[in-house]
Amino acid sequence: MAIGPVQLIVLGFPEPDFHGQIAAELERLRESDAVRVIDALAVHKTTDGEVEVAHLSNLSDDEATELGSVVGALVGLGIEGEEGLEAGAEAGARAAADGIHAFSDEDAWDVIEEIPDGSAAALVLLEHHWAVPLRDAVAAAGGFRIADGFISPLDLIGIGMLSAEEARELHAMETATVGAG
């Protein structure tokens, strides 16, 4: 099975009180076939740093069986408590024994550490279906990915895509933190 480019998006929330808007939007994206939600988790980090995890995923039963708890394994969360964490660690160790290393120590991203205590996060692992033909065309032309990332709305002012006011509003919306008004 060919898989498109995969991206992990971590979205923060002041409370673990999700109202269904995220699940509805994930379903809309799934129906459009622009992206596939490989897995999605809701993470609540208590004020003392304890982590509680629940699935947000809209995978079919077959997809869920095939993929398991992918986000949890990727970021080191055990959905099934200690057993799930151990299973993820064992799978990672087997892959490393086969010469596969997901992250170097230099590139490691501690997603859970970045979630502020006393807040929540949605971790969404997306496969970008729309990008498969582009990726394949780049590869066929001998090209390769050097880097990628989201561009801040503030950076779009300089090229005239947004006004300063629009950019400030979007930037504030995208970077609002727990406790910020």
Tell me what pLDDT residue 86 has.
55
pLDDT band at 181 (very low <50, low <70, confident <90, very high): very low
Same domain? 46 vs 124: yes
Contact 84, 78 (CB under 8 A): yes
Distance, CA of 84 to CA of 77 (rounded, Å) = 8
Question: Structural domain tally of the chain?
Answer: 2
> Is 115 within the bounds of a domain?
yes
CA dist 78 and 60 (Å) reads 21
Residues 117 and 174 placed together within one structural domain of the fold: no
Instruction: Write out the residue range of the structural domain in which residue 171 sits.
Output: 150-181
Q: Indicate whether this model's pTM tops 0.75.
A: no
Mean pLDDT to the nearest integer, 37-49: 85
Residue 1 lies in a domain: no
Same domain membership, residue 92 and residue 29? yes
In the prediction, which pLDDT does 165 show? 92
Residue 139 domain-assigned (yes or no): yes
Q: What is the pLDDT of residues 70-96, one digit of tens each?
A: 555 655 554 444 454 455 555 555 555
Q: Which one has a higher pLDDT value, 40 or 91? A: 40
Does residue 93 sit in the same domain as residue 46? Answer: yes
Q: Quick one: 23 and 103 in the same domain? A: yes
Whether residues 115 and 181 share a domain: the answer is no
What mean pLDDT is predicted for residues 104-128?
79
82 sits in which H/E element: helix 81-97
pLDDT at position 140 is 95
More confident residue, 38 or 98: 38
pLDDT exceeds 70 at position 130: yes
CA distance 1 to 120: 34
Quick one: pLDDT at residue 177?
Answer: 59
Query: In terms of Cα–Cα distance, which of 179, 176, 156 is closest to 166?
Result: 156
**59/13: higher pLDDT:** 13
Same structural domain, 180 and 157: yes
pLDDT top residue among 12 and 75: 12
